[in-house]
Chain A
Amino acid sequence: MSRQKSDEQVITHPHLIRLHGNDNVAATTVNVEEGQLVEIEGREIRAADSVPTGHKMAITEIAAGEKVIKYGVPIGSATCLINPGQYVHTHNLKSDYLPTYTLDGTNRYLDSRGRTT
């Protein structure tokens, strides 16, 4: 597994977990530092940001408005262009799930404008 290059730090075992084949983000299993090369499924990605353990890194380019896929399904939408290796979190990903969990008494959710969902 070790693929050390002369002048670069390469993490020598998979420190990203891609949970589903359709995912465009992977979870980190260690703290990844900005500039590090990390490997996922035999491919190398350079970390554009530092990503704490268990958080998400983009593994493909994600356009603004495109769904961010984890577990094979959307977990929200990108709010700007996200490049491979970038940290994905609240600064560039928002929920598509609008309800504020206020209930109107009839077992229906109300969103932030008071509409049922």
Chain B
Amino acid sequence: MKGYLRSDGRKGIRNLVVVAYLVECSRHVAAEIVAPMRGEGVHLIGFSGCFPNDYADRMMTSLCTHPNVGAVLLVGLGCESFDDQRLKKTIEHSGRPVERLVIQESGGTTRSIEQGRRWVRQAADKLRDDAPVDMKIDELVVATICGGSDASSGLTANPAVGRAFDRLIERGATTIFEETGELIGCEQLIASRAANDILGKQIVASIEKAARYYAVYGHGSFAPGNADGGLTTIEEKSLGAYCKSGDSTIMGIIRPSEIPPCGGLYLLDIIPDDEPRFGFPNICDNAEIGELMSCGAHLSLFTTGRGTVVGSAVAPVIKICANPDTYRRLSDDMDIDAGRILEGRGTLDEVADEIIEHIEATADGRQTASERLGHQEFILTYKSEFAPSPRCRAEDG
């Protein structure tokens, strides 16, 4: 595997130019700057809000200095509250080429687009000269997420990802799972996998917090007895999502924008600690992928039963289809046919092997289905700032 070495010691599996809009008012200009660069490693990210938000500020900082990012163009209107100077300095300190484009100062839409395109073209050309270095699997951070789930997700794709996670961890990689709101009912089980008792208690608390948070927004109804898909108990229902995490020891809880300190399995707690504000914690799958990327995930394993087509800006998405009928309908969008297990055409272990093969090939530069199709979804919304991560990691115990 080859990677691009960054000044903080991390290595990227892509060497992208990121164009970041700092308010919705500059999104069109930023998108136009990116438009002619399709397929050339130039991605659009941004934050639409005009009012300041510490969480969004930290997320943008993490993503602009993500290991897959090699250069950054910041695009603002000029009167938004985003502290673009500070962000620019941070990116500069990371050793990445960075430019700041302020539309009100650079002559409006047309001239800003022209200036931006010139800078991005030069930056992209320069990045192509970067010499990749050797990268090992223990330098890789792999995240998992599920979306568009159905009854097949918990039988095929999710447990296969769990087995792949265990194999990655054996080889020293870092893995991240999340969705504490879908772990309700198996708190004690998850806590029993924690590296120490303090962490175990913290995991239970984080899941209780998720239950409370979702209840406020009307999504707290985990009533037992959803028998339709053959689920008998709440434990069983939650396990369908939970089994993506495999069997390994949980090394710590992390928060958005927090880089796991060492290899092993981490639980990302995406629920703010204060009273619910700003609406749903994550409004869609890509908001979750954004937070996983902010923790340094090089790529995400996305399991889906009903079928999703999305990818992501910044970090490749490997889509693992749990349902064989969905795979046949959406095969163009899928990387792995895990649903074949249901038809006797493969086993969980075989699919786990295939996931590992895809991870290594993707890290080595092969395009995933969503990359090939040009998917670069990105969304970042307002959220309460997170308290510093509790002392709950393995090395603390």
Report which A residues bind B (CB closer than 8 A): 13-15, 17, 19-20, 27, 29, 52-56, 70-76, 88-90, 93-97, 101, 103, 107-109
Could you tell me if B227 and A73 are in contact, using CB atoms closer than 8 angstroms? no
Chain B facing A: main interface SS = loop
Question: Which chain A residues lie closer than 8 Å to B102 at the CB level?
Answer: none
A–B complex contacts, Cβ < 8 Å, 27 sampled? A13-B344, A17-B155, A17-B341, A17-B342, A29-B341, A29-B342, A29-B343, A54-B230, A56-B230, A70-B236, A73-B239, A74-B189, A74-B235, A75-B236, A75-B239, A76-B232, A89-B227, A90-B232, A93-B233, A95-B185, A95-B234, A96-B233, A97-B185, A97-B224, A97-B234, A101-B211, A107-B209
Question: Which chain A residues lie closer than 8 Å to B208 at the CB level?
Answer: 107-109
Once the chains are docked, how many angstroms separate the CA of A87 from the CA of B39?
52
**Mask of B300-328 contacts with A, CB within 8 angstroms, 1/0:** 00000000000000000000000000000
Once the chains are docked, how many angstroms separate the CA of A69 from the CA of B253?
27
A54, A55, A75: the one within 8 Å of B233 (CB): A75
- Is B186 an interface position by the 8 A CB rule? yes
Could you tell me if A71 and B230 are in contact, using CB atoms closer than 8 angstroms? no
Could you tell me if A101 and B221 are in contact, using CB atoms closer than 8 angstroms? yes
B212, B225, B239: the one within 8 Å of A70 (CB): B239
Could you tell me if B235 and A27 are in contact, using CB atoms closer than 8 angstroms? no
Could you tell me if A88 and B239 are in contact, using CB atoms closer than 8 angstroms? no
Report which B residues bind A (CB closer than 8 A): 151-152, 155-156, 159, 184-186, 189, 208-209, 211-212, 215, 220-225, 227, 229-230, 232-236, 239, 242-243, 247, 341-344, 348
Question: Which chain A residues lie closer than 8 Å to B229 at the CB level?
Answer: 54
Could you tell me if A19 and B348 are in contact, using CB atoms closer than 8 angstroms? yes
Could you tell me if A90 and B212 are in contact, using CB atoms closer than 8 angstroms? no
Question: Which chain A residues lie closer than 8 Å to B209 at the CB level?
Answer: 107
Could you tell me if B223 and A101 are in contact, using CB atoms closer than 8 angstroms? yes
Could you tell me if B230 and A52 are in contact, using CB atoms closer than 8 angstroms? yes
Q: A27-B155, A101-B221 are contacts. A14–B344 as well, Cβ < 8 Å?
A: yes
Once the chains are docked, how many angstroms separate the CA of A73 from the CA of B224?
18
Question: Which chain B residues lie closer than 8 Å to A13 at the CB level?
Answer: 344
A70, closest chain B residue (CB): B236
Could you tell me if A19 and B155 are in contact, using CB atoms closer than 8 angstroms? yes
